[in-house]
């Protein structure tokens, strides 16, 4: 716990690759942070951009008195490199496509000063609010479950995990768990979830700080292909996290990807037996399941059809997460992901129960209808 008037020091770490204009906007926002006598900070950018972009980012860092370091393409290694190059007792991770709100650090400093715990135990996150560059697709994405983790810190209190787009951790806690794990597949995705869960397993609590918010540009979420790839990658990583964190593993009913895989098997077996129409089974099932899920979702809101159409469009974006989860599980020879999810405990599962039941009804009815129509 800090004493009144004691200086709180932050090391702001920004992993970067490309996005030079966005990095500059972030550095400008940090330069505009509210300046208080008891708050100090340094900013470190760890960059893996190509030569011309790297020079542009380096020039911006020089202009805004920011330490510029070269790193490899792994976001995890860049975060670790930046954190270990800093000198302050608190490390704040921000993404390169974000902007700091003027009161970001003062909100975190106030939280540190008021909470009755040792400074070494600080782990907190603020909300990440999306803005700028809105399109019809990004307005749809505002309702996506893919963005739910960015919104969780809007409510003060404990968090299951938090995104590294706006994540604060004491240097002692960071070192206690040896930072971000660097040996995951892909160069990004899932590392913030794993980092937070390892902190939880080590006894650290994660707190949401609504006042410590930052802004996230929609520009990096405006490409539908990019979002579909990101969704699939996050799902793949989620399957590995379920295997690596058994304390947070909770049983759930098989999801849409498992049903779809079963329908693929039915289709192949049917075709081998001479029923070529069976090859349509997985596609028919998938279409029926998404449609039924949209109908069930629409019944809970008004107007019905608008909600159903929104749910159907969101399902197309979110389905790759489940498919990636199944693919990652099969590829790693880990089948826990087929019937488990990550959750803190029974209270969270109770909150998710209505959605789980809706998925089950959608999948089971679609399975029966698909088999009746094809067979």
Instruction: Write down the pLDDT at residue 180.
Output: 97
Domain boundary among 177, 207, 222: 222
Domain residue limits at 149: 8-222
Would you give the distance in Å from CA 140 to the centre of its chain?
Answer: 17
Q: Are residues 205 and 87 in the same domain?
A: yes
Instruction: Write down the pLDDT at residue 297.
Output: 66
343-354 in b/e form (b: 16+ CB < 10 A) is bbeeeeeeeeee
Q: Are residues 293 and 171 in the same domain?
A: no
- Is residue 315 assigned to a domain? yes
pLDDT band at 24 (very low <50, low <70, confident <90, very high): very high
- pLDDT value at 179 more than 80: yes
Cα separation values, 285 from 103, 275, 276, 348, 354, Å: 50, 17, 16, 29, 22
Give 299-352 pLDDT, tens digit per residue: 556 565 666 677 677 777 888 888 898 899 888 888 888 788 888 876 666 666
Q: What is the mean pLDDT of the chain?
A: 88
285-296 in b/e form (b: 16+ CB < 10 A) is bbebbbbbbbbb
- pLDDT value at 364 more than 50: yes
d(CA 311, CA 295): 9
Mean per-residue pLDDT for 75-103? 97
The tokens for 3 are 């004493």
Among 311, 148, 317, 326, residue whose Cα is nearest residue 254 = 326
- Is residue 235 assigned to a domain? no
Mean per-residue pLDDT for 233-259? 88
The sheet with strand 128-131 has its strands ordered as 98-100, 214-217, 128-131
Cis? peptide before 303, omega within 30° of 0: yes
Which residue, chain included where needed, has tokens 């599962």? 349
Q: How many domains does the chain have?
A: 2
- CATH of residue 194's domain is 3.90.550.10
């Amino acid at each position: 716990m800090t004493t009144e008037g004691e200086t709180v020091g932050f090391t702001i770490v920004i992993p970067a690759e490309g996005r030079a204009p966005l990095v500059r906007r972030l550095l400008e926002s940090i330069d505009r942070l509210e300046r208080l006598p008891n708050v100090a900070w340094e900013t470190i950018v760890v960059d893996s951009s190509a030569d011309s972009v790297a020079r542009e980012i380096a020039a911006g860092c020089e202009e805004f008195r920011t330490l510029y370091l070269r790193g490899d393409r792994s976001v995890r290694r860049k975060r670790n490199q930046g954190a270990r190059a800093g000198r302050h007792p608190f490390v704040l991770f921000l993404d390169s496509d974000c902007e700091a709100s003027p009161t970001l650090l003062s909100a975190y400093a106030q939280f540190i000063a008021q909470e009755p715990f040792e400074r070494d135990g600080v782990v907190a996150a603020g909300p990440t609010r999306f803005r700028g560059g809105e399109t019809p697709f990004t307005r749809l994405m505002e309702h996506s479950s893919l963005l739910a983790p960015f919104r969780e810190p809007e409510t003060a209190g404990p968090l299951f995990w938090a995104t590294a787009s706006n994540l604060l951790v004491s240097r002692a806690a960071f070192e206690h768990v040896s930072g971000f794990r660097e040996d995951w597949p892909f160069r990004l995705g899932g590392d913030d979830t794993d980092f937070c869960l390892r902190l939880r397993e080590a006894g650290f609590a994660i707190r949401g700080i609504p006042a410590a918010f930052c802004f996230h540009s929609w520009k990096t979420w405006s490409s539908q292909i990019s979002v579909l790839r990101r969704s699939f990658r996050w799902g793949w990583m989620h399957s590995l996290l379920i295997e690596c964190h058994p304390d947070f593993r909770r049983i759930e009913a098989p999801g849409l990807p498992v049903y779809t895989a079963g329908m693929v098997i039915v289709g192949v077996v049917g075709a081998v037996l001479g029923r070529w129409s069976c090859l349509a089974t997985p596609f028919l099932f998938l279409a029926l399941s998404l449609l039924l899920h949209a109908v069930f979702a629409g019944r809970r809101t008004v107007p019905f059809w608008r909600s159903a159409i929104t749910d159907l469009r969101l399902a197309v974006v979110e389905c790759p997460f489940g498919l990636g989860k199944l693919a990652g599980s099969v590829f790693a020879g880990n089948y826990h992901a087929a019937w488990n999810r990550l959750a803190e405990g029974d209270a969270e599962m109770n909150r998710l129960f209505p959605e789980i039941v809706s998925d089950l009804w959608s999948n089971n009815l679609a399975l029966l209808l698909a088999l009746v129509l094809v067979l």
